[in-house]
Structure 1
Amino acid sequence: MIDWHDIDTVLLDMDGTLLDLAFDNFFWQVYVPQQYALQKSVSEQAALSLLADWIGRHQGTLNWYCLDFWSDELGLDIAGLKRQVADRIGFRPGAEDFLRALRASGRRVVMVTNAHPDALSLKVERTGIDQYFDALVSSHQYRAAKEEQTFWQRLNEAHPFDPLRALLVDDSLPVLGSAQRYGVNHLWSILHPDSSAPARDHTDPFPAIDRFELVLPK
């Protein structure tokens, strides 16, 4: 269980942690290849192969999360395409009750996301998720992805916190590893970030949240 008595600051990822990753996976794995194939007059399989190669080369970097970069790279209006399927955006089960409980607990709650500011704005617009946070931080503000130590250094400069008394919940194991290297003491992953895919078997070396109602703050 999460040791809430030792936690003052809660750092929460957005996609795959609080919001269902099914939206993002559908968008990048299905919708974007379809639109690329239509606009470039290639087969969907060719579009999938091209996208997989491009995305693989930038994975874990800020470019991977940057809508402007992918708009330029693919010749598509990525932000506009996201709006076309925005009805698929939604909370993971129990996430909103978890956020309400955090607010009621009086702890400082900061969103830390690699999402591009345009994607973050769209998801705030669709869900109202911003009401539960003291601050919303996109890694694009710091020009460093959460996988980089620079992100955590700049986060602590802008929003000071004690890493030993901070909790990070994130579905990305590389991000959790980066936070661990920085010294964040309480690290939890998510067992089922995408409702359209099977749950993970485990998230070693980090404990994982399956149901938010089982880890509500005290």
Structure 2
Amino acid sequence: MIDWKKVDTVLLDMDGTLLDLNFDNHFWKEFVPLKFAEKQGLSIQAAKLQLEPRFKSMEGKLEWYCLDYWSDVLELDIAGLKAEISGLISVLPHVTEFLGKVRRSPKKVYLVTNAHRDSLGLKMEKTCLQPFFDGIISSHDLGFPKEHAEFWRLLQQQIPFEKQTALLIDDSLTVLDSARQFGIAHLISVSKPDTRQPKKQITAYPAIEDFRELMEGL
């Protein structure tokens, strides 16, 4: 699937790529509506009907990933709520083994995420993955989400890499599209970002179900 001799920089998404997306799906689709319903005196169904279009309207924007934004508009402590159910945060199968192999290689490896710094800090604390990376970059530091072309230009200024020898692994097809337009040569998707959901059928990019598929030749 990948010729590792042609890659010297590995860019890795976090949620749905390294970490099980079940946590985020449960948080936004079930836990936040529950807490919003309690605060507003609504049924959970009514809360979901109010929240879903608000969430949808922000997809792909930096605000969608910003805990401060949602704390303000929903009048909820979003970071605190994430901490309440942080026991659900988990690393996807074979990720740690893969990261260990990359770390022992000459390649540079960076975590490149849209996650807000509060969420990022909580997840690194729970998973202990931080030592595997040469650097961790949040889109909030750069002012643009990964879906935006400007993100990649600013990222290249912060961590110089060659487009032709860079690999991005991300479960978001929109992010992969943005990276492809920027010129990143090697792009891989993830077909099972949420272990509790069926495998996705992906045709636009090569896709892995778990990281064992990438270890040969590494």
The alignment's TM-score, normalised by the length of structure 2, stands at 0.98
- Per-residue CA deviation, residues 132-151 of structure 1 (Å, 9 max, x unaligned), is 00000000001100000110
State the one-letter code of the partner of 1:40. Q
Paired position in structure 2 for 1:151: 151
Spell out the pairing of 1:93-112 with structure 2 (5 A cutoff): 93-112=93-112
For structure 1, which segment, 78-87 or 49-58, has the greater mean C-alpha deviation from structure 2 after superposition?
49-58
Spell out the pairing of 1:151-170 with structure 2 (5 A cutoff): 151-170=151-170
Paired position in structure 1 for 2:56: 56
* 1:82 paired to 2:62: no
**Gap runs ≥5 in structure 2:** none
CA–CA separation in structure 2 for the residues paired with 1:156 and 1:31: 36
CA–CA separation in structure 1 for the residues paired with 2:30 and 2:191: 23
Q: May I ask how many residue pairs the two structures share in their alignment?
A: 217
- Per-residue CA deviation, residues 176-202 of structure 1 (Å, 9 max, x unaligned), is 00000000000000010001111102x
SS at match of 1:32: helix
Q: CA deviation at 1:204?
A: 2.1
CA–CA separation in structure 2 for the residues paired with 1:112 and 1:135: 9
Paired position in structure 1 for 2:116: 116
CA–CA separation in structure 1 for the residues paired with 2:210 and 2:32: 31
- 4+ runs deviating over 2 angstroms: none
CA–CA separation in structure 2 for the residues paired with 1:190 and 1:163: 21
Paired position in structure 1 for 2:203: 204
* 1:17 paired to 2:10: no
CA–CA separation in structure 1 for the residues paired with 2:56 and 2:144: 18
Q: CA deviation at 1:214?
A: 2.2
Paired position in structure 1 for 2:69: 69
* RMSD over aligned Cα atoms: 0.7
State the one-letter code of the partner of 1:205. A
Paired position in structure 2 for 1:185: 185
* 1:215 paired to 2:214: yes
Paired position in structure 1 for 2:133: 133
- Per-residue CA deviation, residues 104-136 of structure 1 (Å, 9 max, x unaligned), is 112100110000000000001101111100000
Taking every aligned residue pair, what percent have the same amino acid on both sides?
47
SS at match of 2:38: helix
